[in-house]
Amino acid sequence: MNGALEISLAALRANAEALRSLVAPTHAAFVVKGNAYGHGAAEVARAIEAHASHLCVYTIDEALALRAAGITAPLLILGPVPASALRSAIEHDCELPLWDERGYLHDLAAAAGSCGRPARVHVKINTGLNRFGIEAEGCDALLEAVAGVRGVEIVGVFSHLAAAEEIDSPYTQYQLARFTIARERLRARFPAAQQHIAASAAAMLWPQSRLDLARFGIALYGIWPSEQTRSAMGDSGLILHPALSYRSQLVVTRDIEAGEAIGYGCTFHAPRAMRIGVLPVGYADGIPRLLSNGGSFLIDGARCSILGRIAMNTCVLDLTNAPAAAVGTKVTLIGRDGSEEIAADDWARWAQTISYEIVTRLPSSLPRAFIENRG
């Protein structure tokens, strides 16, 4: 194989336990959408299922795949579900989002009636992210409509924050205030409904947002939501263990003369005679092209710079710091080697993006080995 991922199940479980303890007595839900942020949905879900009040996915397909894999934990679908799939969602004991008191509500009721089971829904409130949800001040119409149909049971009310990574965020305060309006109206009619708005950053930085349930996504995988969040939690005792490592091996080494070019576009010219190594992975394997001439990977515990442009299936490294490297030598793209570590956050900084994008865009075709130790 040209490149492969290792996922530490022990790290996942340690993170789940730490996050659950952080918010107790609030319940902890864990988000495994996007193939568990690139880590492997079924295996991740299986590893942390016992620690979860709910597992959250985005699509009905993700939910059904988890059920097919034997996952029995409560599943909450966060995204839209087509009317044609509602019966299947209900039959597989999935909890669903609801933000439409018109046709969609009646589709839910019809699906529930056809399979003889209630549709369990979480009412989605738009508090200012302006994607999905009914307006906080307008939830009474939906509650009235639900009361007028059979087979639809409100079990939760939720929203999502836009700027929770900021410690001083007036917008977060505004959103929390809007959510309070909606959840108080809903709780008056459905006192047992779970209230939730906090994801990883909010659960850490805004304790008042934890309510009944906190939804942990990126933090479950040992990645901090932002550097500001990491700094703010420095004295909290919370430790997150990165669960994912990415490794490959050299397939070619060669010596080049001063002035020779490397890669497409000839964007790198050797300033001196150099020894270089070729990796059989590139942007088709999840390495952002923006790491060209900027990132580095680890060989024999040393950082080796990326030279030239990353291609679809290859990239080239400077072997100056790894003089013993040869064909077959292991290369760590993400993870630890000796005292050095390359993190998803490093890739994100080099690629001018966020760590969420780095890990979720690792192709499902990359082999994933699930191991018990923490790497």
Instruction: Provide the β-strand partners of residue 152.
Output: 119
How high is the pLDDT of residue 1? Answer: 72
Percentage of the chain modeled with pLDDT above 70: 99
Say yes or no: 225 and 249 in one domain.
no
What DSSP line would sit under 73-100, residue for residue? Answer: S-EEE-S---GGGHHHHHHTTEEEEE--
Say yes or no: 309 and 249 in one domain.
yes
Percentage of the chain modeled with pLDDT above 90: 91
In a domain, 375, yes or no: no
Say yes or no: 51 and 188 in one domain.
yes
CA distance 159 to 196: 7
Say yes or no: 78 and 177 in one domain.
yes
CA distance 39 to 364: 9
Instruction: Provide the β-strand partners of residue 54.
Output: 29
Q: Kindly state the DSSP code that residue 118 receives in the 8-state scheme.
A: P
In a domain, 239, yes or no: no
Inter-CA distances, 1 with 10, 273, 368, Å: 25, 31, 11
Tell me how many helices (H) and strands (E) the chain has.
12, 21
When pLDDT is cut at 50, 70 and 90, the band that residue 47 belongs to is very high
Domain of 224, CATH number, reads 3.20.20.10
How high is the pLDDT of residue 344? Answer: 98
* Token pair belonging to 111: 């699906």
Say yes or no: 128 and 191 in one domain.
yes
In a domain, 141, yes or no: yes
For the chain, state the CA radius of gyration: 24
Say yes or no: 67 and 173 in one domain.
yes
Could you tell me which residues come within 8 angstroms of residue 45 by beta carbon, excluding any fewer than 6 positions away? 32, 36, 55, 66, 69, 71, 73
CA distance 177 to 183: 10
In a domain, 350, yes or no: no
What DSSP line would sit under 26-65, residue for residue? Answer: SEEEEE-HHHHHTT-HHHHHHHHGGG-SEEEESSHHHHHH
What DSSP line would sit under 187-245, residue for residue? Answer: HHH-TT-EEE-B-HHHHHH-GGG-TTEEEESGGGGT--S-HHHHHHTTTS-------EE
Say yes or no: 116 and 145 in one domain.
yes
Q: Indicate whether 373 pLDDT > 80.
A: no
Say yes or no: 174 and 253 in one domain.
no
In a domain, 79, yes or no: yes
Q: What is the pTM of this model?
A: 0.95
Average pLDDT of the segment spanning 246-260? 98
Q: Indicate whether 375 pLDDT > 60.
A: no
Say yes or no: 13 and 129 in one domain.
yes
Backbone phi and psi for residue 55, each to the nearest 5 degrees, phi listed first: -110, 135
CA distance 25 to 72: 23
Positions marked catalytic: 33, 264
Q: Give pLDDT tens digits for 117-175.
A: 999 999 999 999 999 999 988 888 899 999 889 999 999 999 999 999 888 899 999 99
How high is the pLDDT of residue 374? Answer: 56
What residue numbers bound the domain in which 265 lies? 244-342
Domain of 323, CATH number, reads 2.40.37.10
241 alpha carbon, distance to own chain's centre = 15
Instruction: Tell me if residue 294 falls in helix, strand or coil.
Output: coil
Instruction: Give the end of a domain, one of 180, 211, 232.
Output: 232
How many domains would you assign to the chain?
2
Q: Are 159 and 202 in contact (CB under 8 A)?
A: no
In a domain, 128, yes or no: yes
Instruction: Give the end of a domain, one of 172, 205, 232.
Output: 232
In a domain, 84, yes or no: yes
Q: Indicate whether 231 pLDDT > 70.
A: yes
Average pLDDT of the segment spanning 37-50? 98
Query: Quick count: other Cβ atoms within 10 Å of Cβ 225?
Result: 24
Mutual angle of helices 41-48 and 9-23, in 10-degree steps: 50
In a domain, 90, yes or no: yes
Say yes or no: 51 and 20 in one domain.
yes
Say yes or no: 213 and 295 in one domain.
no
Average pLDDT of the segment spanning 289-313? 98
Say yes or no: 193 and 250 in one domain.
no
Instruction: Give the end of a domain, one of 193, 211, 232.
Output: 232
Inter-CA distances, 368 with 35, 192, 280, 283, Å: 12, 40, 17, 18
